[in-house]
Amino acid sequence: MGKHVKISLVSVSLVFILLFLVGAIYLSPHSKSPEQALSDYLYSVKNLNVDKAVAYIEDPYFEDKKSLKDFYDKAYRSDKLTDFSVTDVKQIDEKSMDITCNLKIDSMGETSHTFHMINKEGAWKVYIEPATIQQDSIGGATSKTSDASK
């Protein structure tokens, strides 16, 4: 009887391990919709969970994760997000989408912002578009957000 009990316990343990692995794969960032990825990102920002928030960012300005994390940590603390809601979703193609949200930020009140989402290696990310410098008519430099990725 002892041998059968051990085999049963091993079988049950293997089933639980298999269920855990399937659940982990199903709930991984790769299976999230763009809306869910953005929501997870914004909840992380709201809760000042910088490590989790920067995992959802694709920002070409930073070459290493440490400087990316340091920059966004300061930004999230100085402009504290207190609430958000999605107001519009526009599919651009299979790998990009624009999601507009109403944001409540301590330092500026309510504002609307459109997040450009991209699918990179199966995971949806908030894409921070690079700015381009253009010269204005009197020779001064002005900054403009690039539309190259749209």
pTM over 0.75: no
**Residue-wise pLDDT tens for the chain (150 aa)?**
566 555 554 444 433 443 343 333 334 445 589 999 999 999 999 999 999 999 999 999 998 999 999 999 999 999 999 999 999 999 999 999 999 999 999 988 999 999 999 999 999 999 998 765 444 445 444 444 444 444
Taking the C-alpha atoms of residue 78 and residue 7, their distance in angstroms, rounded to an integer, is: 57
Q: Is 16 exposed, middle or buried (0-12, 13-18, 19+ CB in 10 A)?
A: exposed
Residues 6+ apart with CB under 8 A from 137: none
